[in-house]
Structure 1
Amino acid sequence: MTDKSERLFDIDNRIAAVMQQLGELIERSQAITDAAAEADLMREIEDRETQLTALREMREALAETAD
């Protein structure tokens, strides 16, 4: 596996992990009734969405580079 392939594989794994975390957070948010807890959870969701966007941008930039 080339260095680029390894880095893409790592980024893909990190993207999958963040997506799984997002799904779990969204599932938890559906059961919350406390406003403060909901606000905390929404901040966590926003943080994961930011991470996901950054990872996708990293992957896209890396994929566009020559081997």
Structure 2
Amino acid sequence: MSTGIWILFIVLALLAGAAIGFFAARKYMMKYLKENPPINEQMLRMMMAQMGRKPSEKQVKQMMNQMNKSQK
């Protein structure tokens, strides 16, 4: 009977570790993306310039707002 208890304990420990690891990694990634957004205004201007467009400040702000809305 003690072998069954040990197996149950090991399975429960693995499940608890996986759950804690998942939530810790998720929290870390959310914090990282908030501090280091994937695209900022300067990168957006550079991308538009490479496409041959000279964006106005209004266009840049609109695109940043749209990207921020889609992230949430």
TM-score bin, normalised by smaller chain: 0.3 to 0.5
Q: Tell me which of the two structures has the higher relative contact order, counting C-alpha pairs closer than 8 angstroms and 6 or more residues apart.
A: 1
Q: TM-score, normalised by structure 2?
A: 0.43
TM-score, normalised to structure 1's length? Answer: 0.46
